[in-house]
Amino acid sequence: MAMNKSDSGSRLVYSTETGRVCPGCGQPVAACTCKLKTAIPVTDGIVRVSLDTKGRKGKGVTVIKGVALDAAALALLGKQLKSACGSGGTTKDGVIEIQGDHRDTVIAALQKQGMTVKRAGG
């Protein structure tokens, strides 16, 4: 029995012609008609910057929480902060993590963008 594309459960996620494709409507992400995008998380308006070493074998990581941006904008902000600090890191679950202790640099960069920032922790 031959299976066609619709029976196999596969779907198009990237096209060299248009780039990323929305899984909901099948259109390019820039021209998505279903608006299958994540909502902006509700926060108190204060961005908290802290240093975390738990579960990292003593290595310090600067953690930024409470940024009221959608996932794409948060990833872009994370990329900007990582390049400003000259360090690596990640953005996941609404939290930006930057390798090393860069709290002062991150606080200055976020305040320059007009955000209310507090240093959390010790």
- Taking only the tens place, the pLDDT of each residue in 76-108 is 999 999 999 999 999 988 899 999 999 999 999
pTM of the model: 0.66
Same domain, yes or no, for 77 and 55? yes
The residue whose two tokens read 């248009």 is: 18
Distance between CA 17 and CA 116 in Å, rounded?
41
The whole domain housing 52 covers 46-119
Max CA separation in the chain (angstroms): 65
The chain-wide mean pLDDT, for the chain, equals: 81
The count of structural domains within the chain is 2
Same domain, yes or no, for 111 and 55? yes
Same domain, yes or no, for 54 and 98? yes
The CATH number of whichever domain residue 111 belongs to comes to 3.30.780.10
What's the average model confidence in pLDDT over 51-71? Answer: 88
Q: How far apart are the first and last CA of the chain?
A: 65
pLDDT, position 57: 85
